[in-house]
Amino acid sequence: MSKSAKLAVLGSINVDQILNLAHFPRPGETVIGKQYQIAFGGKGANQAVAAGRAGANLVFVACVGADDVGQRIREQLATDNIDTSSVEAIDGESTGVAMIFVNGEGENTIGIYAGANASVTPEYVARHREAIVTADALLMQLESPLESVLAAAKLARENQTQVILNPAPAVPLADELLALIDIITPNETEAEILTGITVNSEEDAARAAAVLHHKGIKTVLITLGSRGVWLSEQGAGQRIPGFKVNAIDTIAAGDTFNGAFITARLEGVAMNEAVRFAHAAAAIAVTRSGAQPSVPWRREIDDFLQQQG
Ligand code: ATP
Ligand code: RIB
- The residue from 80, 182, 204, 255 that is catalytic is 255
User: What is the pLDDT confidence band of residue 176, given thresholds at 50, 70 and 90?
Assistant: very high
For domain 6-13+43-95+117-308, give the CATH number: 3.40.1190.20
C-alpha 11 – ligand 2 centre gap (Å): 11
Residue nearest atom 31 in ligand 1 by C-alpha distance = 226
User: What is the pLDDT confidence band of residue 249, given thresholds at 50, 70 and 90?
Assistant: confident
Q: Is 255 a catalytic residue?
A: yes
- The Cβ of residue 226 has, within 10 Å, a number of other Cβ atoms equal to 14
- Closest listed ligand to the CA of 100: 2
User: What is the pLDDT confidence band of residue 4, given thresholds at 50, 70 and 90?
Assistant: low
C-alpha 90 – ligand 1 centre gap (Å): 33
> Could you tell me which residue, 1 or 263, shows the higher pLDDT?
263
Mean pLDDT of 246-252: 90
Domain ranges of the chain: 6-13+43-95+117-308
Percent of the chain residues past pLDDT 90, beyond the cut: 94
**Range of weakest confidence among 120-129, 180-189, 226-235:** 226-235
C-alpha 168 – ligand 2 centre gap (Å): 10
The ligand 2 site (C-beta within 6 Å) comprises 14, 16, 41-43, 46, 98, 110, 112, 143, 251-252, 255, 291
So what's the pLDDT on residue 193? 98
Half-sphere exposure of 162 (CA within 13 A, CB side): 17
The pick from 43, 120, 139, 190 for probing ligand 2's pocket by mutation, whose C-beta has the most ligand atoms within 8 angstroms, reads 43
Residue nearest atom 9 in ligand 2 by C-alpha distance = 42
pTM: 0.97
User: What is the pLDDT confidence band of residue 235, given thresholds at 50, 70 and 90?
Assistant: confident
Tell me the pLDDT tens digit for each residue of 104-138: 888 889 999 999 999 999 999 999 999 999 999 99
Q: How far is CA 199 from CA 81, 222, 253, in A?
A: 36, 9, 19
Residue nearest atom 7 in ligand 2 by C-alpha distance = 42
Residue 65 marked in a binding site: no
- Closest listed ligand to the CA of 247: 1
User: What is the pLDDT confidence band of residue 289, given thresholds at 50, 70 and 90?
Assistant: confident
Residue 92 marked in a binding site: no
Amino acid at 78: A
Mean pLDDT of 185-205: 97
Residue 207 marked in a binding site: no
The answer, yes or no, to whether residue 2 has pLDDT greater than 50, is no
- Work out the mean pLDDT of the chain and round it to a whole number: 96
The answer, yes or no, to whether residue 55 has pLDDT greater than 80, is yes
The answer, yes or no, to whether residue 1 has pLDDT greater than 80, is no
Residue 309 marked in a binding site: no
So what's the pLDDT on residue 220? 98
So what's the pLDDT on residue 107? 84
- Closest listed ligand to the CA of 223: 1
The answer, yes or no, to whether residue 217 has pLDDT greater than 80, is yes
